[in-house]
Structure 1
């Protein structure tokens, strides 16, 4: 009887569905993520965490597993970390390398982290409008095959990325105790250099990113 029991156990383990395969595949498929429920969890983790873990019990009863099967929480956390890291990096960069040397008669000033975050948010908003709103309405044209859709898509991304870095420059250039703030304009030159190459090889960023989102 013991060998039979062991073989059943091995068979059950082999037939158990893998957890990480579907989880990882859903990371690149936004339409399969429950974004609204994820934000609901995030809010309640700060206000009423017991409710979140009560729903974990329901999840176990309905899905037969305790862990989340939706990677939306992790993806959104990563995006938040990227935004916060960008602000931290900007604050560190400006305070470490772009500040003018104060003389003995001037009070030393530093870039506040919250101001760096403000600059990042201000810069991101126009890029968001271009790449998420304007691109949405132009997507029937942009996803088509051919040179003109690729050209228009690349121009859209060039404008969005360049404007983001230009607003970064404006945000830090207004601070009188910073020097060499033109550093924030350098990525624009890189974008302008790379964009003709992308157009020549027929790379369409709109089609690429929409294929990641929607398959």
Structure 2
């Protein structure tokens, strides 16, 4: 008679050698803890949201200490992600009222702002910077031996995107809403104001992104992350000849 292994009452028989929870456990902690509200530090997240707008360098001063205490560069608390998503939901409600989109239109706008503007675009951008930083910017000092060689975590790259999105949200989803009656007028001063708003938002995004990767001690030449500011500034100057960026962007959302 063959000897069968004895299974405990809590064990499961796996077919095909797979782990039913393997895909879930491989996700970054920030996504696996989305529903654990009692463990989220919203006070720290609000502090970071504030300083990302007024003094972003202070936020990245904590990165090294987080690595020392949690053995990871990425934050494992999804509070920041939830706060930004919630703020986008509130902003979409305000935009839908201004443009009289109705309930269904407001829900659609909220989904677009959260999942397309914030998350989907962030997945593309952070994946690009994650790949580029590990392949082109990663550097090991010659003559040193590292038991834990530095590597940019994908989750950290997504954290950096979330940080960079904060001033973008403030400028383009809040302040632009307040200035809609002005920046959509047929005046050059209004064109200048609207285009300058987009210039500052994009500049802040890439600057905070640069600070995020510059905070990692094993990366070099992180200044290349600021190179997109050259075409952005060039485009801003060219747009002053008569291209109202704000009005064109709003027309994509509302057909205004």
TM-score by length of 2: 0.54
1:191 maps onto 2:232 in alignment: yes
Match of 1:122 in 2: 163
1:211 maps onto 2:248 in alignment: no
Distance (Å, rounded) in 1 between the aligned partners of 2:115 and 2:200: 27
1:141 counterpart SS class: helix
Match of 2:131 in 1: 92
Distance (Å, rounded) in 2 between the aligned partners of 1:88 and 1:30: 36
Divergent runs of 4+, >2 A: 29-39, 75-82, 101-104
Classify 1:131/1:179 alpha carbon distance in 2 versus 1 (closer, same or farther; 3 Å): same
> Over residues 131-160 of structure 1, what are the superposed CA-to-partner deviations in whole Å (9 max), with x where a residue is unaligned?
110010011110100111111111110000
Distance (Å, rounded) in 2 between the aligned partners of 1:77 and 1:160: 19
- RMSD between aligned alpha carbons? 2.5
> Over residues 67-118 of structure 1, what are the superposed CA-to-partner deviations in whole Å (9 max), with x where a residue is unaligned?
xxxxx68x96555332212222111111011011354512311001111000
Number of equivalences: 153
1:121 counterpart SS class: helix
Distance (Å, rounded) in 1 between the aligned partners of 2:178 and 2:216: 37
Q: What are structure 1's unaligned runs of at least 5 residues?
A: 1-28, 40-71
Q: What are structure 2's unaligned runs of at least 5 residues?
A: 1-98
Match of 1:17 in 2: none
State how 1:23-62 maps to structure 2 within 5 Å.
31=101, 34=105, 36=107
More helix by share: 1
- Compare CA radii of gyration and give the structure with the larger one: 1
TM-score by length of 1: 0.64
